[in-house]
Amino acid sequence: MAFNPAEIPGLPAEELARRCDPAELPFGATDEIEGLDQLIGQDRAMDAIRLAAEMRHRGFNLFVLGPTGTGRRSAVDRLLAEQAQKLPVPDDWAYVNNFDAPDKPRALRLPPGTAQRLRGAMQGLVDDLAIDIPALFESDEYQTQRRALDEEYGERQETAMADFVEKAKAENVALLRTPMGFMLAAIRDGKVVKTEDYDKLDEAEQQAIDEKIARLQEELAKVLREAPKLDKELRGKIEILHASMAERAVSARVGELKAEFCDIAAACAYLDDVHKDMIANAELFLAAQANAKSGPFPEAIRKYHREPPFERYVVNVMVSRDGPEAGGAPVVAEDLPTLDHLTGRIEHVSQMGALITNFTLIKPGALHRANGGYLVLDARRVLTEPFAWEALKQCLKNRSIAITSMAERLSMVSTTSLQPDPIPLRVRVVLIGDRVLHALLVMLDPDFADLFKLQADFEESIDRTGDTVVPFARLIAAHAVRDGLKPFAAAGVARIIDEATRIADDSKKLTLHLGALSDLMREADHYAGEAGRARVEAEDVARAVREKDRRASRVKDRMQEAVTRGTILIDTDGAKAGQVNGLSVIGLGDFRFGRPSRITARCRMGAGKLIDIEREVELGGPLHSKGVLILAGYLAATYALDAPFSLHASLVFEQSYGGVDGDSASSAELYALLSALSELPVAQGFAVTGSVNQTGDVQAIGGVNEKIEGFFETCLTRGLTVRQGVLIPKSNVEHLMLRDDVVEAARAGRFRVIPVASIDEGIAILTGRAAGARDATGAFPEDSVNGRVEARLREYAEARRRFGRTGRGEEGGGGEGDAP
């Protein structure tokens, strides 16, 4: 039943890597074919993007998911741009002053391109009135009417005073003006009675004078009280005069604007409000004329804090569709989706130590610019910006844009703020993110599914067939032209196709991570230029692959050096019981490499406990622990079914100081355990990978190419022999895409890749002893691996039973459990 493991044949070299034959490509170089400037193999995702772009009902926003480098962003941009050209140009939006409530600016909806015209027209209106109104108030007509009013009210005031003076004079009382005001004094013989003369008068005369002066004092007070009333009446008349004069100038100019915007109801209503306000505040233009040499409005636009009176007539344009982008709906990509950048902001300026604001300081956000079209956002960035995600959802749910500052939300600033009218929103939002983020949003955010009903899931690979290779080559040609690269020879294209298959981890697939291939093409173009070639050849691509790996392989080389020097113990020759070379993959960014690890197993009698040392010290991940539990189930269900499972075993990755996860080493651990139980040594020239199920089937794992190459490099440094190789799951054969040096070593018979479908196949190859199958009596062949394992487990069960009968179980059996 014994045989030599070195005689087990490995896979033919042709099955270790699928190479593209340049002769099968229908061109000599990429400049001979037409490039394909669109994605291939992404029909499902492209249909979802088109549906989102064309669907006008609410809630059909799109989440684009998939790995970076698959061309998802360029596909979104291209399809949205195509559909945007078919849509009507959205309306303009502007904020204007609410003359009745300045803290609540009004939003104006205007036809495309109108907002800028209205702003310019308002600027011209104020500039013209700044000249016309002062000129009108300097006219002879105004001066004559103003003089008439002044004279009329002056005469009325003087008449009242003159009548009082005459009345007082008739009663021998004089009205005197002093620095302290008016004063009344008695007159005798045409002269004012002095104090000393008054004192010489008898008491009756003094009393008569006092009564007369007191009475006249009251009448004088009445006359003087009438003066402010006359002044107020005069001011009212002057205001009426100003209004009537301003009406003539304002009505003419505003009438011209209303004629220009007569077909826009919102603009006409606003101009009516402007008309009323300008008439009521004509003095603003007179003050501006007195304080400035030029029209006030340009200064108000540029330096509004210097000419605050005229801010009230500014048209603050949020978005206007005139210019090159007016040929359809907008497509806006916001790379920094903060709250302010999404919904807009209200700025403040400092005046004399205080923060103030007005409607001219309202600034638009991405939602304003994208209104009526499409908004493209990076999902992760939106979610990481404070309040941005909630604000975006609120705007989509309410179908309007409400501007709220971060400071206001956090109550960090106590100052005057505004409540602008919300602007109605109609936009299609496209979020771009990964699958994990999409799954988390679906699971944790109850609003997400209602707002983002569509998903475009980008494929990572396509089938490698005769129908896809040529389109893939045309895609390479398009990338070469787009990036300004040299033409790629057919051999160079074939080498890129092979690398695309390698990246896909499947010999029947081609990766759609076009970003990685583009980087490879650019580097290969550089090396072709160094070599003075007009075309990029296969050796240039191969060099780019090697150099990329070499740049990232410092850690890999140090680990390999530790193995070579014996710091990390790995055997590549000989045989040992209970010891197997397992394989794992280490990832550093986008660079992965395989690393062999020694796995050992130790067994003794016990109570059916299988100890995973990695799990016990919390270095093993859940998937690794699952694999160990599965192999424990395999042992219990396969051997000594009529006896208690009386094994106490421990498994460990030797010299492993980091975390271990994944179940790809479960078959190696089971081989080590079977070797320890059967006391049959395992050939150390083999390394093993593959997971196992409870029925003993070896299952596919990931990273098979890197694992094989990692052990190959270890064997290469020790010296290759015909006794070395790797056992892989049979289902992983179609994933093989090994390096040329590994393929050549296999072709020369110096290294083998052996597929196995079951644990029995694998243990037989590793030990050189047949696994053995149960005969008609249900027994395994005595000298087979399975027979020796079952015999050992029966011995443990008998020993445990004997141990329990001696009564010594009370002393030391508690840890192992009492035998039945």
pLDDT digits (tens, 9 = 90+) for 577-620: 999 999 999 888 888 999 999 999 998 888 777 766 566 656 65
The catalytic residue among 486, 509, 556, 707 is: 707
Confidence band, pLDDT 50/70/90 cuts, at residue 475: very high
| Token pair in block for residue 521 | 């093409």
Average pLDDT value for residue range 454-483: 92
What distance in Å separates the CA atoms of residue 767 and residue 684, rounded to the nearest whole number? 10
249 vs 137, 256, 299, 371, CA distance in Å?
11, 11, 22, 39
683: helix, strand or coil: strand
Q: N- to C-terminal Cα distance for the chain? A: 36
Which residues make beta-bridge pairs with 581? 598, 687
Per-residue pLDDT tens over the stretch 487-509: 999 999 999 999 999 999 999 99
781: helix, strand or coil: coil
Residues 6+ apart with CB under 8 A from 716: 745
Residues 6+ apart with CB under 8 A from 652: 599, 600, 613, 614
Strand 349-351 vs strand 609-612: parallel, antiparallel, or unpaired? Answer: unpaired
Q: Is the dihedral of CA 108, 110, 116, 117 positive or negative?
A: negative
Residues 6+ apart with CB under 8 A from 412: 406
Residues 6+ apart with CB under 8 A from 333: 77, 375, 376, 377
Per-residue pLDDT tens over the stretch 101-136: 988 999 999 999 899 999 999 988 888 887 777 777
Residues 6+ apart with CB under 8 A from 146: 238, 241
- Average pLDDT of the chain to the nearest whole number: 84
Average pLDDT value for residue range 212-236: 73
pLDDT at 46: 93
Confidence band, pLDDT 50/70/90 cuts, at residue 624: low
229 flagged as catalytic: no
**Global pTM value:** 0.79
Closest Cα to residue 107, out of 520, 386, 337, 425? 425
Confidence band, pLDDT 50/70/90 cuts, at residue 414: low
Which residues make beta-bridge pairs with 93? 109, 319
pLDDT at residue 816 tops 50: no
Q: Which residue has the higher pLDDT, 127 or 95?
A: 95
The catalytic residue among 507, 518, 646, 664 is: 664
Burial of 529 (0-12, 13-18, 19+ CB in 10 A): middle
Percent of the chain with pLDDT over 90: 47
Per-residue pLDDT tens over the stretch 273-292: 988 888 888 777 776 655 55
Q: What is the dihedral of CA 462, 463, 468, 471, to 10 degrees?
A: 20
256: helix, strand or coil: helix
Helix residue ranges, H only, 647-774: 666-678, 704-718, 740-747, 759-767
H/E stretch holding 150 reads helix 140-170
Confidence band, pLDDT 50/70/90 cuts, at residue 434: very high
pLDDT at 814: 41
The half-sphere exposure of 189 on its side-chain side, counting CA atoms within 13 A, is 3
What is the DSSP code string of 157-196?
HHHHHHHHHHHHHHTTEEEEEETTEEEEEEEETTEEPPHH
Most confident of 120-134, 194-208, 220-234, 589-603: 589-603
Residue 505 Cα to chain centre, angstroms = 29
98 vs 357, 368, 581, 724, CA distance in Å?
14, 20, 80, 86
605: helix, strand or coil: strand
What distance in Å separates the CA atoms of residue 141 and residue 249, rounded to the nearest whole number? 14
pLDDT at 181: 66
Q: Which residue has the higher pLDDT, 721 or 369?
A: 369
* Buried/exposed 374-386: b ≥16 CB within 10 Å, e otherwise: bbbbbbebbbebe
pLDDT at residue 450 tops 50: yes
Residue type, 87: L
What distance in Å separates the CA atoms of residue 634 and residue 789, rounded to the nearest whole number? 13
| Token pair in block for residue 750 | 């110096």
Most confident of 60-64, 513-517, 565-569: 60-64
Q: Which residue has the higher pLDDT, 408 or 359?
A: 359
Closest Cα to residue 139, out of 266, 44, 242? 242
pLDDT at 389: 95
pLDDT at residue 300 tops 60: no
pLDDT at 617: 59
pLDDT at 648: 84
What distance in Å separates the CA atoms of residue 311 and residue 174, rounded to the nearest whole number? 56
What distance in Å separates the CA atoms of residue 780 and residue 311, rounded to the nearest whole number? 98
Q: Which residue has the higher pLDDT, 736 or 176?
A: 736
Angle at 655 between CA 652 and CA 658, to 5 degrees: 85
Confidence band, pLDDT 50/70/90 cuts, at residue 820: very low
Average pLDDT value for residue range 460-475: 92
Confidence band, pLDDT 50/70/90 cuts, at residue 298: very low
Q: Which residue has the higher pLDDT, 396 or 136?
A: 396
Per-residue pLDDT tens over the stretch 313-346: 999 999 998 755 567 899 999 999 999 999 999 8
What is the DSSP code string of 437-475?
HHHHHHHH-TTHHHHB-EEEE--SEEE-SHHHHHHHHHH
| Token pair in block for residue 437 | 């983020």
Residues 6+ apart with CB under 8 A from 819: 644, 646, 800, 801, 803, 804, 805, 809, 813
Length reported for the chain: 820
Confidence band, pLDDT 50/70/90 cuts, at residue 525: very high
Q: Which residue has the higher pLDDT, 544 or 293?
A: 544
pLDDT at 80: 94
